[in-house]
């Protein structure tokens, strides 16, 4: 098939592209800049902005399917920047698909669209969207997911996938932040360190995207639905963080801070950054404090049933690959 991957140079986008190319699909990527790794794969790269409708229409030309992976992630920044990419960008992708007759759209969402700040244990897709958000990322992703699912119909079939806490070699978001903060002595265990979370190795997430694409068509059982994705083996968050750090030969985090203290610190720092227009991002935010101290793991029955989802890379194998990747970078 002829596929467009938005954000093809990113962590998940590039993993999806590698799998599409490996099985012989014709692939193109839409991103703000070119990536040498995609050139090596023979992928056609289109430089453009999701917030520009003309760029998106040109990118989807003659495609059978769109994997809409690109998003503005993170815990900090003005609402307008998140809304422009995550909401307006998604509106443009949907409009372009309809204008150019693209029949299938696989959207990468996030479990944070239902995150209330409290423990979520064995949560399934019946959970409602959150009504109060502690960060602009989950707020705008929730808006975008609802746009995608409501657009499902006889001409355009849509499905939303919610991968949780992705990691693996090439991670340019979670792992680098952990390593940098740990090496600077700024990483603290938040709460009692007994919270259980789901995580997801990036290639397993890519597998699920391709599986969804192959099953998606107007009127199919998965059309118009959202699915949680995870490793299927929940872990103690801080134990897992320390195992990731060990891959970089960094000692485990042992210093602690109370969850309420972290949340209060996040509130103060957010206020100060807004008031003083400080550059960068706060060391702690309310959203991050709740994510680091609460349990959030998911019921994967729907993904197993409808997508035949079975993670092929275990946590142990994934950690081995991360260590090998980090060692290769240092050599």
CA angle 16, 18, 20 (to 5 degrees): 70
Count of CB atoms within 10 A of residue 127's CB?
17
Helices (H), 34-115: 36-40, 53-60, 79-82, 89-100
23 with 177: CB under 8 angstroms? no
Token pair of 144 as six digits = 């975008």
Annotated catalytic, 137? Answer: yes
Q: Quick one: which H or E segment has residue 143?
A: helix 136-150
* DSSP assignment string, 276-326: HT-SS--S--HHHHHHHHS-EEE--HHHHHHH-----S-HHHHHHHHHHHH
Cα dihedral 262, 117, 230, 72 sign? negative
Choose the catalytic residue: 82, 107, 137, 263. 137
Token pair of 118 as six digits = 């409290």
> Where does the chain show beta strands of DSSP type E?
2-6, 26-31, 44-47, 65-68, 104-108, 120-123, 157-163, 166-167, 189-190, 196-197, 200-201, 226-229, 235-236, 256-257, 296-298
300 with 232: CB under 8 angstroms? yes
Which of the residues are catalytic? 137
């Amino acid at each position: 098939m002829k596929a467009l991957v938005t954000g093809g140079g990113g962590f998940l986008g590039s993993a999806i592209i590698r799998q599409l190319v490996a099985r012989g699909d014709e692939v193109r990527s839409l991103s703000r800049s070119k990536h040498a790794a995609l050139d090596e794969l023979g992928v056609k790269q289109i430089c453009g902005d999701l917030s520009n409708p003309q760029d998106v229409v040109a990118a989807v030309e003659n495609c059978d399917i769109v994997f809409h992976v690109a998003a503005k992630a993170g815990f900090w920044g003005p609402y307008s920047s998140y809304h422009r990419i995550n909401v307006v960008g998604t509106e443009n992708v949907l409009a372009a698909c309809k204008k150019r007759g693209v029949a299938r759209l696989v959207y990468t969402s996030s479990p944070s669209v239902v995150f209330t700040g409290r423990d979520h244990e064995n949560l399934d897709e019946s959970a409602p969207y959150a009504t109060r958000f502690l960060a602009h990322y989950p707020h705008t992703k929730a808006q975008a997911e609802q746009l995608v699912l409501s657009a499902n119909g006889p001409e355009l079939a849509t499905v939303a996938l919610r991968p949780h806490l992705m990691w693996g070699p090439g991670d340019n978001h979670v792992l680098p932040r952990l390593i940098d903060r740990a090496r600077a002595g700024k990483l603290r265990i938040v709460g009692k360190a007994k919270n259980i979370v789901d995580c997801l190795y990036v290639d397993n997430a890519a597998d699920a995207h391709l599986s969804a694409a192959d099953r998606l068509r107007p009127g199919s059982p998965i059309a118009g639905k959202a699915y949680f994705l995870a490793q299927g083996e929940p872990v103690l968050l801080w134990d897992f963080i320390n195992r990731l750090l060990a891959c970089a030969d960094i000692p485990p985090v042992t210093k602690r801070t109370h969850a309420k203290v972290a949340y209060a610190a996040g509130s103060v720092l957010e206020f100060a950054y807004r008031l003083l227009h400080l550059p960068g991002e706060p060391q702690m935010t309310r959203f991050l404090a709740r994510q680091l101290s609460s349990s959030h793991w998911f019921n994967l029955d729907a993904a197993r049933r409808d997508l035949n989802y079975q993670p092929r890379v275990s946590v142990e194998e994934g950690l081995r690959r991360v260590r090998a990747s980090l060692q290769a970078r240092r050599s």
